[in-house]
Amino acid sequence: MKLILVSILACMATILQAAGFLPGIGYFISPLATAPILLCSMFSIPFGEISYFLTIMLLFILQPTELIVFSFTTGLLGLGIGASFHLFRKGLSIIATGAILLMLGIMSLIFIFHFPVLGSAVSVSFSFLTIGFLFAFIYSWLWVEIALIIFK
């Protein structure tokens, strides 16, 4: 029964992430792919990992262009925050873990893979890194609050 729930949530994450190809509204729907991975990770870390990799495999089949974005940003954030709920008891530690993982994912996309996740017009500088970490921290805090609401 749990594996069925994990697979359904992975399918939901795939559909939400693949909605990025829709012009306009797809960019607002695509970040919601964090929620199913986050829920699976909150139930159990191994189930979160299974849903994360299953979503990656489904995206490889359905929408390969969204695969790299999901793997390093949306999915990694959900997996990290969900696992942090098991490892840490303080809210700030959970938020910081999510922010660090999101920032590492964005930085690896930009610097290692040279993937313009933020657009080609954005230059990488010190102020960008500071603002980027602040954004990642606020974004992670938002998802922690959403997770607490959903989990209740």
**Span 39-90, pLDDT tens digits:** 999 999 999 999 999 999 999 999 998 899 999 999 999 999 999 999 998 8
With cut-offs at 50, 70 and 90, classify the pLDDT of residue 131: confident
The number of domains in the chain is: 1
Q: How far is 142 from 40, CA to CA, in rounded Å?
A: 18
Q: What type of residue is 2?
A: K
Q: How far is 7 from 60, CA to CA, in rounded Å?
A: 16
Q: How far is 25 from 27, CA to CA, in rounded Å?
A: 5
pTM comes to: 0.90
Distances (CA, A) of 5 to 9, 36, 42, 47: 6, 10, 13, 10
Domain with 121 in it: 2-151
Note the pLDDT tens digit of each residue in 12-28. Answer: 999 999 998 888 888 89
3-state helix, strand, coil in the chain (%, to 5): 85, 0, 15
